Structure 1
Amino acid sequence: MTGERVHAFGDDALGEHDAVALAAAVRAGEVSAEELAEAAVARAEQVDGRLAPVAFEAYLTPRVGRSGPAAALAGVPTFLKDNVDLRGMPTGQGSAAFRARPARRTAGFAEQLLGTGLTVLGKTRLPEFGLNASTEYAAAEPVRNPWQPSHSPGASSGGAAALVAAGVVPIAHANDGGGSIRIPAACCGLVGLKPTRGRLVLNDQGRRLPIDLITDGVLTRTVRDTAAFFAAAEQQYRNPALPPLGLVAGSGERRLRIGLVLDSPLEAAVTDQQTRQAVERTAARLEALGHRVEPAVLPFGEQFAQDFTLYWGYIAFLIAATGKLVLDRGFQARRLDGLTQGLRRSFRREFLKTPGVVRRLRQAEQAYAGMFAEYDLILCPVLAHVAPPIGHLSPNVPFEELIGRLRRYVAFTPVNNVTGAPAISLPTGETADGRPIGVHLLAPHGEERRLLELAFELEQDRPWRRIQD
């Protein structure tokens, strides 16, 4: 499938507004939550046949979020990613290995999201268990990128990214275990903040692991929507171990010292020219705004990549080994896709290395923190190359070739999952044919405010491109 951009922006209750504007309109009585939900459903039905982003529809029985002063986004429609439980809705995990049944409980993060006031209309698609960097399947239609449907929307929050970029909803849940907020944000022209580990209620899946890689968040089209969500979420739960975030409402005054990284320390992951230019142009903009940008080096190399890959395989191994107990008694490991099976086999061959892998990955946090003795933030690519065509990262690609492609593509984002530090993808670049390129800003633990303030400054200096233009 090739051709023009796919979006659903139009003259309805949603218009071209972001979540903050829609919530204000609901509070003022200018529009009702029901009217917003109806418009979002109509838009979802308009694009679903071309982009395939929806895993489960709850259009007739949406889950309405809380109301009240702390529910800053009350009445705004959204979707939940299909790997977080919401009572009454199935959680399919993007897998054909089991039959998803309605969840009996609501996960802690889903409760926090509902506390912001958002109305959940259904679930978004992800690749099997979120393990891939493209939302593709062994035997099902892939999720497609609204900017160019022949290309990947990224993953694992690819369904969420497609819905937000196409204008179906202004904000959607995403989570990130190796880049899964930032990668689809980069591919689809969105703002994607991966928060500090523990900033939001811990994800049920990640908290059981020796190293919790997974953090929840949202994908949005504006910085203020991301800032508003995190401020509203903090009203539901605040981690006393982290500095309070509050509502970040604009750019900061302090000029920052920013380290510039253009190349991954991985020899095989070569940053392509279009991505390199996007990062360099963003660096030039930051310097023009008065910030100091200097060359820097990430203190992680091939050993880190090998360790992360083995830990990735450990997760696939656990999924296969515990599926009948954790997911469904009818779980069939033989029906897992080629990527999950390949990761599982790789881990089984090298499982004796696991203690050393976990020890070294835990030590990465200290090396990461050391970068910020010299810099306030790090600027680098989100991905080593632009979003690939559908099929390039299909789970049907032979495993050794696929894992090589993934390592050459996802060469920057896993560092912040391992260390637990925050990072944000911003849509400051574009390819020669008009597709978005995201750039990546990394911050010390607990410094989401610093990221959001700089994001506001970049957005104000040059607003993001719009798919409808």
Structure 2
Amino acid sequence: MVTMITLDDYLSHDAVGLAALVARHEVSAAELVAAAIARAQEVEPQLNAIATPLYEAARTRAGRQFSGPFAGVPFAIKDLNHAVAGVPLTHGSRAFASHIPRANGELVDRYLAAGLIPIATTASSEFGLSVTTESALYGATRNPWNRMLSAGGSSGGSAALVAAGVIPAAHATDGGGSIRIPAAACGLFGLKPSRGRTPAGTIRTEGWSGLAAAHVVSRSVRDSAALLDATHGAPFGARIAEPEYGGSFAHAATRDPRPLRIAIQRRPFAGPQPHPDCLRAIDDAAALCVALGHGVEETQPDLPDLTPHLLALLAAHTAATLAARTATLGRPIGDDEIEPITAAYRAHGHAVTGLDLVAAETAFMAAAVTMAEFHRHHDLLLTPVLGRPPAPLGSVSLDATVEDYSAAMAGYSPFTAYQNVTGQPAMSVPLHWSDTDVPIGVQFVARFGEEALLFSLAGQLERTRPWFDRRPALLEVMP
């Protein structure tokens, strides 16, 4: 018999658990969608995480007959590169505010085939360029743990909704850390898959020349693993095939790994020393790993500062994206229609040469070789996710001078982009909170194609030190 689900009951289940309730006819998809929408309407005024509500479409879909491993589970799609037919795909930019795609992106189709029900698209920074989620189009997305702080970026809208209990998991993308950073800032689990593991967007098989990946942020490890089981596989026409894995990621998450050799990286390859809270977080994670029987050694790969090469690549892509939009609109896109840092990226992109891009690709390939050699001797690399605790709103936004933005970025996010360069899988695990009850995530990096090993360790860590029921006390009404 179907019964109404209470908020406490809804919050006590992850996506796998909610799907099981629907499959056993203990609750209906319509009731789950109603619970998610009610929660969204309660917290959205305080978080500003939603780009476009899809409430009526979700209610309609919940009333249909459908199947899949996540049948009936509420979900959300990030408003960046992954199209939902008939819904604005703005990429967080005023220049794309009128862009409404006619067809779903491939990954969105895979989510729908798995039975998920999108209730919203979620806020992103413009073109995913920032490590916070603040845009002139939608405003700033707030962190449920502290509304004066950023929820991280560029998947901050997805992370804020999951952390606030609106949905158990949400789509996210990662071109330089944009799954792992908001997961770290919001106390969630977030895994960036290996290059080629999942579709990278709509009408393209690679994002940012292969740097970008797509998956989810979630409260539980098993949701992330089971969602990857349901959606992995390179898109049609891909030049980069997914790393083969014949097993189940969800099964991997249930078994403890063999004793692992884990390296600890305390210093970034460029930029200032991390904040003491971030170093305490990795020291705490290392101690936990030792207690679980793993070997830990403080060492790190020898990689150069790749920031100039990353800047050249992202600037060229930004300039190309805006040039294509200009052609579609039939008019120039002024600097007043994009963020100040985006405008600077565009200007720099027009000055980037073919030789610059070849130099960047050459440096990235060399970095991948260096990391592969490093992993001959170390199964995993443990680093901070961020160099600082979650940032105050406005401190690392695209609405800044180039000088201020560059200085803020150098200290705030010096670790995560290297795995986008090499294509390796990496995860943010919520093992640590600061003395002020702010989440501080830690990052584990594995060899290319070894998501199963990451899920195995993540499951072991989650069973040893559970975090699922640790949630922000949401939330007083904003004055």
Q: TM-score by structure 1 length?
A: 0.92
Counterpart mapping for 1:63-78 below 5 A: 64=61, 71-78=68-75
Of stretches 224-233 and 138-147 in structure 1, the one that deviates more from structure 2 is 138-147
In 1, Cα distance between equivalents of 2:331 and 2:6: 44
Q: Is the 8 A contact 2:256 2:456 kept in 1?
A: yes
Shift of 1:140: 4.7
Aligned length: 457
Counterpart mapping for 1:21-420 below 5 A: 21-62=17-58, 64=61, 71-83=68-80, 84-138=82-136, 140-204=138-202, 207=205, 211-234=209-232, 241-246=243-248, 247-248=250-251, 249-266=253-270, 268-302=271-305, 304-325=306-327, 328-329=329-330, 332-334=333-335, 335-351=337-353, 353-420=356-423
Q: Is the 8 A contact 1:263 1:270 kept in 2?
A: yes
Structure 1 pair 356–278 and aligned structure 2 pair: CA distance change class (3 A): same
Structure 1 pair 139–77 and aligned structure 2 pair: CA distance change class (3 A): closer
In 1, Cα distance between equivalents of 2:320 and 2:215: 24
Alignment identity in percent?
Answer: 35
Structure 1 pair 206–221 and aligned structure 2 pair: CA distance change class (3 A): same
In 1, Cα distance between equivalents of 2:53 and 2:274: 39
In 2, Cα distance between equivalents of 1:161 and 1:332: 31
For 2:477, the equivalent position in structure 1 comes to: none
In 2, Cα distance between equivalents of 1:428 and 1:14: 23
Q: Which runs of 5+ in 1 are unaligned?
A: 1-8
The residue identity in structure 2 corresponding to 1:307 is H
Of stretches 135-144 and 436-445 in structure 1, the one that deviates more from structure 2 is 135-144
Q: Secondary structure at the match of 1:149?
A: strand
The residue identity in structure 2 corresponding to 1:162 is A
In 2, Cα distance between equivalents of 1:115 and 1:277: 42
Structure 1 pair 193–201 and aligned structure 2 pair: CA distance change class (3 A): same
Matched, 1:442 2:439: no
Q: Is the 8 A contact 2:50 2:157 kept in 1?
A: yes
Structure 1 pair 359–262 and aligned structure 2 pair: CA distance change class (3 A): same
Q: Secondary structure at the match of 1:23?
A: helix
Q: List per-residue Cα deviations over 1:229-258 (Å, max 9, x = no partner).
A: 112224998966422341334132411011
In 2, Cα distance between equivalents of 1:245 and 1:219: 22
Shift of 1:206: 6.1
Q: List per-residue Cα deviations over 1:323-372 (Å, max 9, x = no partner).
A: 2346x556724211011111222333443522212222233221121111
Q: Secondary structure at the match of 1:150?
A: strand
For 1:3, the equivalent position in structure 2 comes to: none
Structure 1 pair 39–209 and aligned structure 2 pair: CA distance change class (3 A): closer
Q: Which runs of 5+ in 2 are unaligned?
A: 474-479
For 1:14, the equivalent position in structure 2 comes to: 10
Shift of 1:441: 0.3
Kindly report the root-mean-square deviation, in angstroms, between the aligned alpha carbons of the 2 structures. Answer: 2.3
Of stretches 221-230 and 56-65 in structure 1, the one that deviates more from structure 2 is 56-65
In 2, Cα distance between equivalents of 1:42 and 1:329: 41
In 2, Cα distance between equivalents of 1:452 and 1:330: 48
In 2, Cα distance between equivalents of 1:117 and 1:237: 19
Structure 1 pair 300–232 and aligned structure 2 pair: CA distance change class (3 A): same
In 1, Cα distance between equivalents of 2:419 and 2:231: 21
Q: Secondary structure at the match of 1:168?
A: coil
